[in-house]
Chains A and B, each alone.
Chain A
Amino acid sequence: MFKLAWRNIWRNKGRSFITIAAVMFCVIFAVVLRSFQVGVWEHMVGDIVANNFGYLQVHQKGFWGDQSLDLSMDETTLDWDKMENVPGVRALVPRLESFSLVSTGESNRGSLVLGIRPEEELSGLRLTDQLIDGRLFAPASNEVVVSEGLAEYLHVAVGDSLMFLGQGYRGASAYGQFMVAGIAKISNPELNKQLVVLPLETAQWMYNATGLLTTVVVDLEPNADFAEVKASLEPLLRSDFELLDWKQLFPELVQTIEADMAGGQIFVTILYFIISFVLLGTVIMMVSEREREFGILVSIGMRKTTLAAVTVLENLMLLVGGAVVGMAVVKPVQFYFKYNPIDLSGQMKEAIEQFDFEPKLYTTTSFIINLNHGAIVFVIGVLVSSYAVWKIMKLNPVKSMRS
């Protein structure tokens, strides 16, 4: 039966070509669009989440909502060993985060102040890779690293001193004077505009929060599932702690992603709908072309169901074949742009950066997109073939042989 279907495809090269071309066009476009969409969001999530904020964070209950230093955790109340041993956990990253007015005397800006241990940090905050000037601060020193955007705004360079003015633990005032050891370009544009990083111990001292942490970031192994790890970690934490995953940390981000994806999906659906019309057209064409032949076959004894099956098979082979070829064509494109994203420039670049997005277009190499679209084409193929099946079942052999 396969052979029959296969040979039939070659009989009318023109029609087969148009069918395949139409399917390929649709699939290529849909897959490329979705790849870029998903790719950009994947990258952004990866950037925000994997590199800077982590997939999971542990806080004192209520900290994330209030962002208040008063809701900090005592280092010793966490079961570090047990938590680190949970499968999927690569490392636990301690941080003290707060807000302070950072001043040079002439200019000032409210900034996020992050006390960290760089060697234990997520890749986005290791700093050694992100430094564009100067060096990393010495541990437990009075030195800080300033983000690029903030340094520009305040007009500070390596060697300058900064004053910090803020509120410490339980209302104590927090102030200090520090020297800029280095300037770093943080990958996340929003952070890049307003971040100061200093040694964890120094931050704890300044904020009168010795031994306290606001955040423990859970760094995951590359292929770990954050939901599973979350479930395993929860029982290890005291009831007055909260364990939040990235979707809970950034709900607006999730919504923005979903809104954007929805837009893309709608458009792709419309496109598939239109192409379905085209494909239906080719099926109708085929059926009327072969009416005589069908009549002959049925009268010499071929069962209608067999004939229908061969026809459906032929259509599916064409459509799915076209889809597969289309996706194969797209694969290298997907791979290329994943590692060599399109750099947006000019006005577009500025505008996108306003939204705190990185102005680059990435793709994804996820197979799920391919499967999705392959399935869509398959379903369309079945639906469209049903016209042929219906016609075959209705066939009156004598009449059709006369046509």
Chain B
Amino acid sequence: MIFKVAWRNIWRAKVRSFIVIGSIAVGIWAGLLIIGFSFGMNNERTASAIGTTTGHAQIHHEDFDAEPLSTAVVADSSTVVALRKTVEALPFVSGTAQRTVLGGMINSTKSARAVRIMGIWPEEERLQTTLADCMVEGDFFEASGRNRLLIGEKLAKRLGLKLRSKVVLTFQDSEGNLSRASFRISGIYKTLNATWDEFHLYVHHQDLEKTLGAPLVHEVLVRFEETVDTEEKAGVLAAAMPAGLAVKSWKQVRPELGFADDMMAIMLVLVLGIIMMALLFGIINNMLMAILERRRELGMLMAVGMNKRKLFLMILVETLMLGFVGGPIGILLGDLSTRAMMRVGIDLSSKQDGLAELGVQSIIYPEIVPSYYLIIAVMVITTALIASILPAIKALKLNPVEAIRGH
């Protein structure tokens, strides 16, 4: 019956209760929108990076980062074939692609830039990454030709280059000598990450071999069936590799992405926590006033013999009820509005270039994250519990005699 009393007591002061319940609902609603938005932004960014440029894991020679790039190859071409078969035999791997990776410079008639030159095997690349879908102009090595180059849109703009422009690439060959070769731009690509686009060029591996001699494989990109437990799978992959090779998961290749995920989780909990603190004031205020209004009734109950524990419980339950009404409303509102926005997306194209620097797309589709519903529920309950303490203390301090008399 304590529940009955608590429930009915809420509706005694309708305006005040509505305001508190309303604030709880609004707070949760806002929190859910922020959550959906953040997840949408992050997941899209990560999926894009994994799908277009990074894959789930990469295999390099262990000195790849430290040494000048050209000599740190994974293995010679025949060993690489065997290596890739071993990797692809793992149950969670869906495919691999190999690349030549060189550091060098691109020179246009007007200007120059440092770049990373990725020599790819186009048919494989097509299977393992979505790079082929990112073409803005030109083609993905479909038309035949020689010394073809794919350049990022941002870099092309910077250097004033267009389709079919001629450039000179400078890079080190396998002996460490500087080589120059003339290339023609056969395609312009654009990923979500402008910083990537500004630094990476894609060429057909054959066009590099003319200068390099044999095909050099510096990097093997690995794709998993699912983007789940990627760290563990990378560990399994690493264990299967011979000595001298290092495996990096996508988080290690692009630490800023993993960081963004971790940071986001922390930030969201903080955001929710702060919203809850704001709500705390409102709830405490409401309950204090309720106690004040019901002084006489409370005094009567204490006089008649309601013990302290039950009195505390009564107030606690009433406070929780506020949460039990406001919470589900807030969650419902949040869920519905996120679903509505999922179809339309939130348009941030006015900030497009700035976002592209961070690898974020300009239209963000929020996501539903059910695990947070539980977190929110727990937080609301905790907040209500904490909020009930002060009013309960006040109530228990009442002197029944004075309370009944109305002092």
Contact = CB atoms under 8 A, between A and B. Distances in A.
Task: Determine whether A and B are in direct contact in the complex, meaning some CB atoms lie less than 8 angstroms apart.
Answer: yes
Interface of A: 14-15, 18, 21-22, 25-26, 29, 65-70, 98-101, 103, 105-111, 165-167, 171, 194, 251-259, 262, 267, 270-271, 273-275, 277-278, 280-282, 284-285, 289, 347-348, 350-352, 354-355
B110 interface: yes
B358 A267 contact: no
Contacts, number: 173
B169 to A, nearest CB: 11
Given A67-B111, A105-B176, 4 more contacts: A18-B281, A25-B277, A66-B160, A255-B354
Nearest to B160: A66
Contact of B158 (A26, A67, A106, A284): A67
A270 to B, nearest CB: 4
Given A18-B288, A110-B114, A351 B68 contact: no
Contacts of B292: 289
29 contacts: A22-B281, A22-B282, A67-B111, A99-B105, A99-B114, A107-B68, A107-B172, A110-B113, A110-B115, A165-B178, A166-B112, A252-B354, A255-B352, A256-B357, A259-B355, A270-B27, A270-B275, A274-B27, A275-B278, A277-B282, A281-B285, A284-B15, A285-B285, A347-B255, A347-B259, A348-B263, A351-B260, A354-B254, A354-B255
A267 to B, nearest CB: 7
A351 B262 CA distance: 11
B63 interface: no
Interface stretch (B18-26, B52-60, B89-97, B241-249): B18-26
A278 B23 contact: yes
A258 B348 CA distance: 11
A68 B114 contact: no
Interface string B73-110: 00000000000000000000000000000011111011
B113 A274 contact: no
A26 B279 CA distance: 11
Contacts of B286: 281
Interface of A: prevailing SS: helix
Interface string B16-55: 1001101100110010001000000000000000000000
A106 B71 CA distance: 11
A255 B348 CA distance: 11
A67 B107 contact: no
B170 interface: yes
B285 A278 contact: yes
A22 B284 CA distance: 11
Nearest to B15: A284
B279 A274 contact: yes
A105 B178 CA distance: 9
B170 A165 contact: yes
Interface in B256-312: 256, 258-260, 262-263, 271, 274-275, 277-279, 281-282, 284-286, 288-289, 292
B386 interface: no
A106 B263 CA distance: 39
A64 to B, nearest CB: 10
Contacts of B263: 348, 351
Contacts of A351: 255-256, 258-260, 263
Nearest to B170: A101
B62 interface: no
A280 B285 CA distance: 11
Contacts of A194: 114
B282 A274 contact: yes
B135 interface: no
B353 interface: yes
Given A14-B288, A106-B176, A259-B355, A29 B170 contact: no
Contacts of A65: 160
Residue of A66, A166, A254 contacting most chain B CB atoms (<10 Å):
A66
A211 B352 CA distance: 40
A253 B354 contact: yes
B159 interface: yes
In the complex, the 5 A-B pairs of residues with the closest C-beta atoms, listed nearest first: A255-B354, A110-B114, A68-B110, A351-B259, A277-B23
Given A109-B114, A281-B20, A285-B289, A267 B178 contact: no
A281 B15 CA distance: 9
B397 interface: no
A17 to B, nearest CB: 10
A262 B360 CA distance: 15
A274 to B, nearest CB: 5
B351 interface: yes
B255 A101 contact: no
Given A101-B170, A255-B351, A355-B358, A267 B271 contact: yes
Contacts of B113: 99, 110
A99 to B, nearest CB: 4
A167 B112 CA distance: 8
B278 A271 contact: yes
A271 B281 CA distance: 12
B158 A274 contact: no
A98 B112 contact: yes
Q: Which of B172, B194, B279, B281 has the most CB of A within 10 A?
A: B281
Contact of B285 (A103, A255, A259, A282): A282
A171 B214 CA distance: 33
Interface in B231-252: none
A367 to B, nearest CB: 24
B104 A274 contact: no
B162 to A, nearest CB: 13
